[in-house]
Structure 1
Amino acid sequence: MTQIKNIKFKKSLLCFLILSGALLKAEEKYQLNDVVVSASGFEQDLVDAPASISIITKEELEKKPIKDIGEAIGDIPGVDVTMNKTGTYDFSIRGFGSSYTLVLIDGKRQSVANGFYDNGFSGSESGYLPPLSMIERIEVIRGPASTLYGSDAVGGVINIITKKNPDKIEANIEFNTLLQQHSNHYGNAGGFNAYVATPLIEDILSISARLKYYDKAASDLKWPTPVWNSSQQRPDNYQIASHSPGAFTSLGFGSRLNWTVDDKNNIYFDIERYINEISVNSTSSRAIKSERQLFKDNIVLNHDGNYDFGSTNSYLQYGSTKDKELHSQIWVGEGKVVLPWNLGQYGNLVNTFGARIDYEMLKNDQASAGSQIRGKNLDQTTVALYGENEYFITDDLIFTTGLRYIYSDLFDSEFTPRVYLVYHLNDNIALKGGVSKGYKTPAAKELTNGYYNYANGNAYFGNPDLKPEESINYELGVDFRIFDFAHYSITGFITDFTNQISSEDLTGMQNGISCSNGTVCTRPINLGETQTKGIEFAFNTKTYNGFSLNSSYTFMDNRYKDGQKNWFGGDRIENLPRHIAMLKLNYERGKFSSYIKTRARLDTIAKAKGGGNGSLPWQKYKPFYIVDLGINYQINKQSSLSFAVQNLFDKNFFDPQVTKWDGANPAGYANRYQDYTEGRSFWLSYKYDF
């Protein structure tokens, strides 16, 4: 056979041999030839990708209010988004929280050292989102991706793809503001984004710079007058709603220098800094307002090669995140090669081989830190070797296998394999399915033989016997392309999670601390096994007579499997909804576009913010429904105006109810809804392209 048999392989090969800076743009959002890079490490058609993956386009990002990663990905199947106590949006993917999801920018890790965030501040990492004007698209892998990406990717991967080196000057600036109808309860906000890129030497050297600022005032939610269990009134500061969002301010800036050495080699150097100020109202049992100022730096030196034999990517990265007394540092070095092979009548093969080394360090100088860790470097070195083979057996059958070897200086070595199969029944229907393993090591501080933090009536102890968390993920789906009109997909998944890390209460005297009289002592433990079963539906259409539709629905059943019970005696896991749904109708006509969108989160076992777990007189949070409306107008070639009404019908999601100690005595209040979603607000954005 003289010609390459596999047309799909030829398309993937063409994508991957083009300079890695090239962008393949679709005419419409849900075109059949959407291209992704995250699923296998090289560019290929979305329908052929060996993973459940979603794309969020730059056009979609620019037409709605987005301040953080949670808001950006909230409309895709399998994702649950809730507002956390820092005022940013936390997220989970198929039941795994943000701490189990690896966030990348152009394939480079953005996460801090494991264990840096404590006391619920982890959601603030969602705020490290680049200016929207420099984002080309966001790719989201739903499910474990540890074979290619390591232990941080147990729940999934979010890869933010940015614009590449320009061949002409481009610049834009965007101003936005958020005004609350109930500004006496929720904070107003405002900010701006700027991006500029220009060639310095034509076709050789270019530079870009970006700037982002966002500021949001604190909420002012108050309980009805609370009481002690002796019916005595508490001080005024106890009236502030527990863990309600405080003020949030973010300033980010950075620059990238790009050098195209020749037609085969490209190098870039990227540097950025974020300064985030975050606060939480009425945290801890003593109703204290907690504030932190974080400085996050990231430096990357990257090389891409495109040669006759294949392509290569290698990079060095340094990341630093610190506040006054905590300092997290990461050093990463990685190199990989992608090799395509034409096997003639036996099909075609793409091999990916790579090696990676991670060193992460956490230093804690807090006065509340235990003597075992205060002022010391808690570090971990991880070395990984990985390989993946994507075998295009025929035009319609693609078989992927992968294996990652992980060595950690704190734990035993581990292998994380995966297998995946894509089969095209015809041009419009594809079956996809596979099995993959996830693996995540505990934070070094959690291995402390003693307490690692003691403040505000809470003592946190380590556990040297902790084991790494592991998961096995099974998924099977079908992808329908309804001619050139619509895309419909169904994906079922099962995740078996073992050695899940949770916490247990301690009593008596522990390392000189009396765990009684109001002092709460906890330590991490491995729970055993949990299981998540679910099914995801997505239906999206192209534009027809100006109208298009996006919709998704996810059913999840998350349960403890080792005899553990929730606070109400059942085996369902708390804080994870059973039903998540989204429906969005879009309309476009000339310079005008609009959307109306509704989201729902239903049947969620409660685990309250404030009031004490287990003291709730209700078992489930109230159902969550919300409707948003958005309008965009392209004023001229350079400028556009966007307007949105969030929570269009002004649904009140603040419903305080009395909690009970021991099922009898009044203790305080907790919200009947899962988070403090804001009332009706108005968002306005103006963007100008120079």
Structure 2
Amino acid sequence: MQQYAPRRLVFNTLYRTLFATGLTALSTGAIAENVTNETFVVTATQTKHTTLSAPASVSVVTRAELEKMSVNDVSDAVRKLPGISINPSTTYGRKEIKIRGMKSDYTLLLLNGRRINSREALASNMGNDFDLSTIPVSAIDRIEVIRGPMSSLYGADALGGVVNVILRQPGETAAGEIGYGFEAPTEGDGGGHNRLSGYLSGPLLDNKLLGSVIVDGGKRDAWRTHQSVNPNSDALEARDTFNALTNLTWLIDDRQNIEFDTTYAKDDRDVLWNNYGASAHNIQKMERIGFGLTHNGNWEYVDTRLRAYFESVDLMDNSQLNNGKAYITQDNKTLDGQVSDYLGDHLITAGGEYRNTELQHSLNLRNGNVAVSQKAFFLQDEFKLGDLALTFGGRVDSHEIYGTEFSPRAYATYSLSDNWVVKGGVNKAFKAPTIAQFNPGYAVAACRGQCQTVGNPDLKAETAVSYELGTAYEAEHYGAGLTLFNNDIKDMIQVQTWDRVATQLTYENVDKARIRGIETSVWVDLTENLNWATNWTIVDAEDRSTKMRLKQTPKNTVNTQLTWQVLDNLATSLSYQYTGNQYLLDKQSKKTRGFNTVDLGATYTPIKHVDLKVGVTNITNEKRDYVATANDYFLSGRTIYGGISYKF
């Protein structure tokens, strides 16, 4: 254990130094102007707060910011936020969102506050950006990201954090937009990506019925690169996608409305995967359909919400590594509701949820189908004592297999001024094993077809206790933030390491794991038209029983960007991102070095209602090292992109 002492000493010293530096920097700015452009969030408490006052570490990506980016899905939109790392989850080129070094399984993805989930159909170790691609960028109004556990409100799967995608809602005025975008790598073969989207919204019956429809389709060719050890394999899979979302809102009266929404997504993928020098053909075709019905009430003393929604995922999985074609169906049925009301100076929010997941699998599941249900109740209290705002909450989850879990939360925000806050809290969270992980009749092809991973009925639910302490300052022309966080995880679930001999693996609980780190961020208006923003996240993640770092967790992530408003109708941006060293596989000898990317972009409005977007990503054509490419983890090369949209 002594060999780890110097590393810990350095980390602890840096931890304290950055904290002191951040507090000093923030204190020197306490005389600046008041904030003029506040952004509001609801994900942290299910009630409305500014990003500064919210009792959590919160980031928001707005619609205006999305329109300036080269974005294909939600992971692209959030990749430069503090505490976020976007790693390829498989050698297919798929991506996953990791928050504060936690696995993507611990990132809960919400759409308008409700779960999107096809992990049971895919199995978590196969990559799950099927969920991310379900949400067309053209449909997004904003994205709220909560860094840190939120099981006290959302239950299991929110052990690492929450990404809540909030869609554009129909309004009283007719509006529409049509857009086209493309991407084209400048090295390798293929990889071209074309997308077309349309949006239409407005009143169907004045003051009574509002409606909107969003359609989005894209086609991407497979991409090959000379970096691959197998020239006949793809570094990025081919994809054909189509998404359609509709919303009808009936305005019953000034106090209540009913929303009915539908979603449809089609996602077809085709790839030749490198399998130890041979090419294995993999085809996956997914269709997803969803229906939601919501009643919202804004009464004299209380706000209410009651909703029911259904999601069905059908997947055809045809891979040479699976030894057969699989037909999979996952049905998710959810009923939830909540009520908020003031009792004196206390804002009380209470709610409940019932959720049922049914899985049918023609190949991996021994009995063909399995169903799991769970129910929950949560209670939250928000109140103030002078400049001190306190939030206490707790949620009780009753899982059909894993029994009852209680997830409490306590958070405090102290306002030193209108612009400067100190905040921190403690959370307890849990994550129940998935069906694939606990069901002994569920066997997933692994080890590139040379073994299987079978469910373990003796698994325990993962639990975590998380602490964070931070401070943030927001003025009109500059701001800064610093947060220290620590997650102690018990019974973390991991797949056994393959010794290249065993033909069957299973899941196991790691006794203890610790993930701690520092998030810092600074932004400043250098001039009236020039803005600079940067953030730096340090993560120290290790298995406490083996003293080894957890895999696919970069130690450092840095993002910095200059934005220049050249003219009223022309804006440019130059950004840099560094992703630090990490272990790709379980064996400690597979450490891969960090890598850098530089992006350049511009948006231009030549005439009213028309927006143009052009740019280049990975200008320097950065490549990952041999440790990564030898295991088929590639960085997309220099890529040009462009787009045009017309709003009416």
| TM-score w.r.t. length of structure 2 | 0.88
Q: Is the CA contact (8 Å cut-off) linking 1:621 and 1:673 kept in structure 2?
A: no
Q: Which runs of 5+ in 1 are unaligned?
A: 1-29, 227-237, 508-514, 566-570, 608-612, 658-669
1:365 pairs with one of 353, 362, 366: 362
Cα distance in 2, alignment partners of residues 652 and 506 from structure 1: 28
Give the 5 Å matches for 1:310-459.
Answer: 310-324=302-316, 325-341=327-343, 343=344, 348-366=345-363, 369=364, 372-373=366-367, 375-376=368-369, 378-394=370-386, 396-449=387-440, 452-453=443-444, 456-459=449-452
1:631 pairs with one of 586, 602, 607: 602
Match of 2:175 in 1: 170
Q: Are positions 1:139 and 2:144 aligned together?
A: yes
Cα distance in 2, alignment partners of residues 296 and 86 from structure 1: 21
Q: Is the CA contact (8 Å cut-off) linking 1:223 and 1:240 kept in structure 2?
A: no
Cα distance in 2, alignment partners of residues 214 and 451 from structure 1: 33
Match of 1:268 in 2: 259
Q: Are positions 1:461 and 2:465 aligned together?
A: no
Match of 1:587 in 2: 564
Match of 1:289 in 2: 281
Cα distance in 2, alignment partners of residues 319 and 465 from structure 1: 29
Q: Is the CA contact (8 Å cut-off) linking 1:116 and 1:362 kept in structure 2?
A: no
- 1:612-659 superposed Cα distances (whole Å, 9 cap, x missing partner): x64x9x553122101000000012221110001111122233x446xx
Q: Are positions 1:124 and 2:140 aligned together?
A: no
Match of 1:597 in 2: 575
Cα distance in 2, alignment partners of residues 582 and 33 from structure 1: 23
Secondary structure of residue in 2 paired with 1:432: strand
Shift of 1:465: 0.3
2:248 pairs with one of 257, 261, 276: 257
* Matched residues, number: 599
Give the 5 Å matches for 1:82-231.
Answer: 82-84=87-89, 85-112=91-118, 114=120, 116-117=122-123, 120-132=126-138, 134-184=139-189, 186-221=190-225
Secondary structure of residue in 1 paired with 2:347: strand
Cα distance in 1, alignment partners of residues 467 and 490 from structure 2: 15
Shift of 1:436: 0.6
Secondary structure of residue in 2 paired with 1:72: helix
Match of 1:548 in 2: 531
Shift of 1:449: 3.2
- 1:463-488 superposed Cα distances (whole Å, 9 cap, x missing partner): 1101111111100000112x421111
**Equivalent position amino acid for 1:212 in 2:** D
Q: Is the CA contact (8 Å cut-off) linking 1:78 and 1:554 kept in structure 2?
A: yes
1:72 pairs with one of 64, 69, 77: 77
Shift of 1:54: 0.3
Cα distance in 1, alignment partners of residues 525 and 240 from structure 2: 38
Match of 1:522 in 2: 505
Shift of 1:301: 0.5
Cα distance in 1, alignment partners of residues 146 and 93 from structure 2: 25
1:505–1:628 CA distance, 2 compared to 1 (3 A): closer
**Equivalent position amino acid for 2:218 in 1:** Y
- 1:324-357 superposed Cα distances (whole Å, 9 cap, x missing partner): 301111000001001123x3xxxx2110000110
Secondary structure of residue in 2 paired with 1:148: helix
2:479 pairs with one of 487, 490, 493: 487
Q: Is the CA contact (8 Å cut-off) linking 1:623 and 1:673 kept in structure 2?
A: no
1:102–1:335 CA distance, 2 compared to 1 (3 A): same
Secondary structure of residue in 1 paired with 2:291: strand
Shift of 1:281: 3.3
Cα distance in 2, alignment partners of residues 602 and 206 from structure 1: 48
Shift of 1:320: 0.9
Cα distance in 2, alignment partners of residues 480 and 203 from structure 1: 41
Q: Is the CA contact (8 Å cut-off) linking 2:235 and 2:632 kept in structure 1?
A: no
Q: Is the CA contact (8 Å cut-off) linking 2:557 and 2:579 kept in structure 1?
A: yes
Shift of 1:280: 4.0
Max Rg structure: 1
Match of 1:662 in 2: none
Match of 2:268 in 1: 277
**Equivalent position amino acid for 1:380 in 2:** V
- 1:482-533 superposed Cα distances (whole Å, 9 cap, x missing partner): x4211110000000111111122589xxxxxxx95xx632101111110011
Shift of 1:450: 5.1
Q: Is the CA contact (8 Å cut-off) linking 1:275 and 1:294 kept in structure 2?
A: yes
Which 10-residue stretch deviates more, 534-543 or 464-473? 534-543
1:170–1:360 CA distance, 2 compared to 1 (3 A): same
Shift of 1:310: 1.7
Q: Is the CA contact (8 Å cut-off) linking 1:82 and 1:675 kept in structure 2?
A: no
Root-mean-square deviation over aligned CA pairs: 2.2
Cα distance in 2, alignment partners of residues 49 and 218 from structure 1: 43
Q: Is the CA contact (8 Å cut-off) linking 1:154 and 1:439 kept in structure 2?
A: yes
Secondary structure of residue in 1 paired with 2:582: coil
**Equivalent position amino acid for 2:295 in 1:** H
**Equivalent position amino acid for 1:261 in 2:** I
Q: Is the CA contact (8 Å cut-off) linking 2:575 and 2:598 kept in structure 1?
A: yes
Shift of 1:82: 2.5
Cα distance in 2, alignment partners of residues 42 and 198 from structure 1: 27
2:40 pairs with one of 27, 35, 46: 35
Identity %: 25
Which 10-residue stretch deviates more, 536-545 or 147-156? 536-545
Shift of 1:83: 3.6
Secondary structure of residue in 2 paired with 1:323: strand
Give the 5 Å matches for 1:496-535.
Answer: 496-504=488-496, 516=501, 520-535=503-518
Q: Is the CA contact (8 Å cut-off) linking 1:631 and 1:643 kept in structure 2?
A: yes
Secondary structure of residue in 2 paired with 1:245: coil
1:276–1:451 CA distance, 2 compared to 1 (3 A): closer
Q: Is the CA contact (8 Å cut-off) linking 1:624 and 1:673 kept in structure 2?
A: no
Shift of 1:402: 0.2
- 1:349-404 superposed Cα distances (whole Å, 9 cap, x missing partner): 110000110001111112xx25x33x22x11111000000011222x110100010
**Equivalent position amino acid for 2:570 in 1:** F
Q: Is the CA contact (8 Å cut-off) linking 1:99 and 1:122 kept in structure 2?
A: no
Q: Which runs of 5+ in 2 are unaligned?
A: 1-34, 317-326
Secondary structure of residue in 2 paired with 1:153: coil
Secondary structure of residue in 2 paired with 1:48: coil
Shift of 1:432: 0.4
**Equivalent position amino acid for 1:179 in 2:** A
Cα distance in 1, alignment partners of residues 533 and 280 from structure 2: 43
Which 10-residue stretch deviates more, 446-455 or 55-64? 446-455
Cα distance in 1, alignment partners of residues 119 and 578 from structure 2: 34
